């Protein structure tokens, strides 16, 4: 199976330059061929393990607790305005 | 008194008895970093003023009769994907170049609470995606045994900091072997704890169902001490297990005769002849110590690498979605919101990270999720079940920690599949969520150079005690010659001379 790199890069919101696009496509093709060995394994009736240690996990108590202060979080942001994250408009001319 | 290169246990004893101050110890290691790191590039950031201030505070506390903790005054280096308040946390990536962590990861906080002095942040493969520390945006880290070789990865900086005598202890993370393989390549010990034993709060997530935080040290005792401090339940990490705390350093002495040790043949495929010879000699020593060594088979391990790269890439594509230029990290100039996302990520991520995000996006795409991701998760169940069954018969499972010794810089970076297969032996441990120690077992010749190679001792979930005890007892048998070679390697490193480092 081939990977449509352009579409995947769009879904992942990554701007790829054409040269990287071609080398990544070649490398992923090789990796995907290796990954296809998974189809040799008989997994009929085997439950998947998506989460590790799920059996010992307990939900946290639903109580308010101390968290990072807003000012500290905002200091990390590239751009803020009036206590909010500031970003460019969604599309030009709107 | 020569502090540099002294075992952590001795440094702690000298500090607590007042024969040496924490400030002197910290200065010694800062000097070592200044002299050696221009050759190795193990540190992304050295926390000089903060380390000096912490050391002075600890000295004062000791003078005043206080108890600053079991790591009082001991310098510790920390991988740069673990948050240390007030320090950078680049994850080896341009996208986090100027980001300063606003809080301590739980592991870092626990170190501070026990008096450790955080001396610096270490280099790593970008977002821990790599096996050689070559994918860092901050340059390659070099192996102190041979500066033309890689130190392994992704925690290569932490491994080199300890191996070259720039820090007595270090923290790393291990998602598919990122502690054990660099420990093997640099001749030191590294432990990948059981999933859930050490909190990942404040650690940048790569693949959340596989990521673990663990210690590096020159010897097994050092790893036991560091694990003792960082292990334990943390309500801030939902996967953190509420186990009774264990004093791992007290569990080291004891009898290992009669321990049943399995050797899975699947983990010996592809191992180089020189490493295999060292491994077989180590098995003989283990038998001489009274352990019962037996060949065995774990057939599903043959597919662990394929399943790993599907699961890790899928989780990475989701975890790294947070780096979008909105709340933290690099933001590219852009006219629209969508352009800002795509440019910030395209400019900020390196090629290996982009490759894995795209692979992850692909295996989670409509129509592919069951075909790849679900199937990989089913294979993981088979691997987990096989380990569980094997541990009904065996107390420990052993293998080399890597198929070969450290390879040359640039040798595998253009060949992704070969690089991925370098983790063949360590990946199954993360897939099963069990624990494993990598400790030096000897030296193997490669191109006329004698290089260290490690033994991997795998244990049952939450049975780090048995793993560490077996490693510690084995170290008493084979460790003296290895330590001598480490001393010799460090003497040869010495201060950097100009003109020596031409790429």
DSSP, res B5: T
How is chain A split into domains, by residue range?
A: 1-43
Q: Using the structure block, give the residue that is written with the tokens 């924490």.
A: B22
Distance CA B72, CA B74 (A): 6
B449-486 pLDDT tens trace = 999 999 999 999 999 999 999 999 999 999 999 999 99
Task: Give the long-range contacts of residues B360-367, CB within 8 A, separation 24 or more.
Answer: B360/B312, B360/B313, B360/B314, B360/B315, B360/B316, B360/B317, B360/B318, B361/A8, B361/A11, B361/A12, B361/B317, B362/A3, B362/A8, B362/A28, B362/A32, B363/B310, B363/B313, B363/B314, B364/B314, B364/B317, B364/B318, B365/A8, B365/A11
**pLDDT at residue A53, as a whole number:** 84
Work out the angle at residue B443's Cα, subtended by the Cα atoms of residues B467 and B249, and round it to the nearest 5 degrees.
25
Closest-CA residue to B210 (of B158, B258, B249, B175):
B175
Q: How confident is the model over B414-419, as a mean pLDDT?
A: 82
Q: Are B275 and B453 in contact (CB under 8 A)?
A: yes
**pLDDT at residue A49, as a whole number:** 97
pLDDT at A4 over 50: yes
pLDDT at B142 over 50: yes
Determine if residue B483 is left, alpha or beta; phi over 0 gives left, psi from -120 to 50 gives alpha, anything else beta.
alpha
**A83 touching B (Cβ < 8 Å):** no
**pLDDT at residue A93, as a whole number:** 61
**A70 touching B (Cβ < 8 Å):** no
- For residue A68, give how far its alpha carbon lies from the nearest alpha carbon of chain B (Å): 8
Q: How confident is the model over A34-45, as a mean pLDDT?
A: 96
DSSP, res B111: H
Q: How confident is the model over A4-18, as a mean pLDDT?
A: 95
* Cβ distance of B327 and A73 shorter than 8 Å: yes
pLDDT at B320 over 90: yes
Distance CA A21, CA A28 (A): 10
Q: How confident is the model over A65-80, as a mean pLDDT?
A: 91
**Probe site for chain A from B298, B358, B360, B382 (most A CB atoms < 10 A):** B358
* Cβ distance of B307 and A43 shorter than 8 Å: no
Please name the helix (run of DSSP H) or strand (run of DSSP E) that holds residue B353, with its range, or none: helix B351-364
Count of CA atoms in the C-beta half-sphere (13 A) of A37: 14
Q: At what angle do helices B22-40 and B48-63 cross, to 10 degrees?
A: 160
pTM of the complete model: 0.96
- For residue B382, give how far its alpha carbon lies from the nearest alpha carbon of chain A (Å): 8
DSSP secondary structure of A5-68: HHHHHHHTT----HHHHHHHHHHHHHHHHHHGGGGGS--TTPPP--STTGGG--PPP-------
Helix (H, G, I), strand (E, B), or coil: what is residue B427?
A: helix
Q: In the beta sheet, which residues pair with residue B43?
A: B122
Option in B326, B382, B416 nearest A31 (CB)? B416
In sequence order, which residues have a C-beta less than 8 Å from that of residue A69 and are 6 or more positions away?
none
Work out the angle at residue B309's Cα, subtended by the Cα atoms of residues B304 and B310, and round it to the nearest 5 degrees.
100
**pLDDT at residue B260, as a whole number:** 98
Distance CA B282, CA B265 (A): 16
**pLDDT at residue B421, as a whole number:** 81
**pLDDT at residue A91, as a whole number:** 74
pLDDT at B408 over 90: yes
* Cβ distance of B358 and A28 shorter than 8 Å: yes
Protein fold of A1-43: Histone, subunit A (1.10.20)
Distance CA B166, CA B28 (A): 9
φ, ψ of residue B170 in degrees (nearest 5): -150, 160
| % of chain B surpassing 90 pLDDT | 93
Of how many residues is chain A composed?
Answer: 94
φ, ψ of residue B90 in degrees (nearest 5): -80, -20
Option in A8, A78, A92 nearest B335 (CB)? A92
- For residue A39, give how far its alpha carbon lies from the nearest alpha carbon of chain B (Å): 8
Helix (H, G, I), strand (E, B), or coil: what is residue B115?
A: coil
**A92 touching B (Cβ < 8 Å):** yes
**pLDDT at residue B363, as a whole number:** 97
**pLDDT at residue B496, as a whole number:** 53
pLDDT at B493 over 60: yes
Nearest-CA residue of chain A relative to B236? A60
In sequence order, which residues have a C-beta less than 8 Å from that of residue B502 and are 6 or more positions away?
none
**A19 touching B (Cβ < 8 Å):** no
**A72 touching B (Cβ < 8 Å):** yes
Query: Confidence band (pLDDT; 50, 70, 90) for B500?
Result: very low
Q: How confident is the model over B97-124, as a mean pLDDT?
A: 97
pLDDT at A67 over 50: yes
Catalytic residues of B: 79, 154, 178
Option in A23, A38, A72 nearest B376 (CB)? A38
- For residue A15, give how far its alpha carbon lies from the nearest alpha carbon of chain B (Å): 4
φ, ψ of residue B475 in degrees (nearest 5): -60, -35
* Cβ distance of A13 and B351 shorter than 8 Å: no
Query: Confidence band (pLDDT; 50, 70, 90) for B199?
Result: very high
- For residue A87, give how far its alpha carbon lies from the nearest alpha carbon of chain B (Å): 6
Sort out which chain A residues have CB atoms less than 8 A from B195's CB and list them.
52-53
* Cβ distance of B340 and A88 shorter than 8 Å: yes
Pairing of β B292-296 and β B212-217: unpaired
Distance CA B313, CA B291 (A): 39
pLDDT at B497 over 50: no
Cα torsion B344, B203, B191, B144 to 10°: value is: 50
Enumerate domains of chain B plus CATH numbers.
8-302+377-493 (3.90.1300.10)
B258-312 pLDDT tens trace = 999 999 999 999 999 999 999 999 999 999 999 999 999 999 999 999 999 999 9
Distance CA B22, CA B76 (A): 12
Dihedral sign for Cα B451, B402, B408, B218, please: negative
**A12 touching B (Cβ < 8 Å):** yes
Helix (H, G, I), strand (E, B), or coil: what is residue B97?
A: coil
pLDDT at B495 over 80: no
* Cβ distance of B381 and A48 shorter than 8 Å: yes
Number of C-beta neighbours around residue B294 at 10 A: 11
* Cβ distance of B416 and A78 shorter than 8 Å: no
pLDDT at A70 over 70: yes
pLDDT at B131 over 70: yes
Q: How confident is the model over A49-55, as a mean pLDDT?
A: 88
B471: tokens are: 């490693």
pLDDT at B179 over 90: yes
**A25 touching B (Cβ < 8 Å):** no
Pairing of β B435-446 and β B449-459: antiparallel
- For residue B416, give how far its alpha carbon lies from the nearest alpha carbon of chain A (Å): 7
B212-269 pLDDT tens trace = 999 999 999 999 999 999 999 999 999 999 888 999 999 999 899 999 999 999 999 9
Sort out which chain A residues have CB atoms less than 8 A from B355's CB and list them.
24, 27-28
* Cβ distance of A47 and B351 shorter than 8 Å: no
Pairing of β B75-79 and β B169-174: parallel
B33-85 pLDDT tens trace = 999 999 999 999 999 999 999 999 999 999 999 999 999 999 999 999 999 99
B286: tokens are: 């283990």
Option in A15, A49, A87 nearest B342 (CB)? A15
Q: How confident is the model over A16-44, as a mean pLDDT?
A: 94
* Cβ distance of A92 and B416 shorter than 8 Å: no
B338-375 pLDDT tens trace = 999 999 999 999 999 999 999 999 999 999 999 999 99
Query: In whole numbers, what is the pLDDT of chain B averaged over residues?
Result: 95
A12-22 pLDDT tens trace = 999 998 989 99
* Cβ distance of A52 and B195 shorter than 8 Å: yes
Cα B150–chain centre separation:
14
Q: How confident is the model over B391-398, as a mean pLDDT?
A: 98
């Amino acid at each position: 199976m081939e990977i449509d790199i352009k579409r995947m890069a769009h879904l992942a919101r990554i701007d790829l330059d054409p040269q990287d696009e071609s080398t990544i496509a070649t490398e992923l093709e090789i990796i995907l061929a290796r990954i296809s060995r998974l189809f040799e394994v008989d997994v009929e009736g085997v439950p998947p393990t998506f989460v590790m240690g799920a059996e010992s996990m307990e939900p946290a108590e639903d109580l308010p607790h101390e968290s990072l202060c807003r000012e500290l979080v905002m200091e990390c942001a590239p751009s803020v305005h009036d206590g909010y994250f500031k970003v460019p408009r969604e599309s030009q001319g709107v | 008194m020569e502090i540099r290169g002294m075992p952590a246990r001795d440094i702690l004893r000298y500090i607590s008895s007042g024969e040496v101050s924490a400030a002197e110890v910290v200065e010694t290691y800062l000097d070592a970093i200044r002299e050696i790191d221009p050759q190795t590039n193990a540190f992304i950031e050295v926390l000089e003023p903060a380390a000096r201030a912490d050391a002075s505070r600890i000295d004062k506390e000791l003078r005043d009769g206080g108890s600053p903790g079991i790591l009082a005054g001991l310098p510790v280096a920390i991988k740069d994907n673990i948050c240390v308040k007030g320090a950078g946390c680049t994850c080896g990536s341009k996208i986090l170049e100027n980001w300063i962590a606003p809080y301590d990861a739980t592991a870092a906080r626990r170190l501070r609470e026990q008096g450790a002095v955080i001396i610096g942040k270490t280099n790593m493969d970008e977002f821990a995606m790599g096996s050689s520390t070559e994918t860092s945006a901050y340059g390659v880290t070099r192996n102190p045994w041979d500066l033309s070789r890689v130190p392994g990865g992704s925690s290569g900086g932490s491994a080199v900091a300890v191996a070259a005598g720039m820090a007595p202890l270090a923290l790393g993370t291990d998602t598919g072997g990122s502690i054990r393989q660099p420990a093997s390549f640099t001749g030191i010990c590294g432990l990948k704890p059981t999933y859930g034993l050490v909190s990942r709060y404040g650690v940048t997530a790569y693949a959340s169902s596989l990521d673990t935080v663990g210690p590096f040290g020159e010897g097994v005792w050092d790893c036991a001490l560091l694990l003792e401090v960082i292990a334990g339940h943390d309500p801030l990490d939902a996967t953190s297990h509420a186990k009774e705390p264990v004093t791992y350093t007290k569990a080291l002495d004891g009898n290992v005769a009669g321990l049943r040790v399995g050797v899975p043949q699947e983990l010996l495929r592809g191992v180089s002849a020189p490493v295999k010879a060292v491994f077989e000699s180590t098995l003989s020593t283990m038998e001489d110590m009274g352990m019962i060594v037996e060949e065995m088979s774990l057939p599903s391990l043959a597919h662990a690498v394929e399943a790993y790269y599907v699961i890790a890439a899928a989780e990475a594509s989701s975890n790294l979605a947070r780096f979008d230029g909105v709340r933290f990290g690099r933001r590219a100039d852009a006219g629209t919101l969508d352009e800002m996302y795509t440019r910030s990520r395209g400019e900020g991520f390196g090629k290996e990270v982009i490759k894995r995000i795209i692979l992850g996006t692909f295996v989670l795409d409509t129509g592919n999720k069951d075909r790849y991701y679900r199937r990989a998760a089913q294979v993981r169940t088979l691997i987990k079940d096989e380990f569980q069954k094997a541990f009904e018969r065996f107390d420990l499972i052993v293998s080399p920690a890597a198929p070969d010794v450290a390879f040359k810089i640039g040798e595998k970076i253009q060949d992704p599949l070969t690089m991925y297969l370098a983790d063949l032996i360590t990946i199954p441990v993360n897939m099963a969520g069990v624990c494993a120690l990598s400790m030096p077992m000897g030296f193997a010749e490669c191109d006329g150079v004698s290089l260290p190679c490690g033994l991997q001792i795998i244990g049952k979930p939450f049975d780090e005690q048995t793993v560490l005890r077996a490693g510690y007892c084995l170290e008493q048998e084979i460790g003296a010659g290895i330590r001598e070679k480490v001393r010799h390697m460090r003497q040869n490193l010495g201060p950097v001379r100009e003109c020596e480092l031409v790429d």
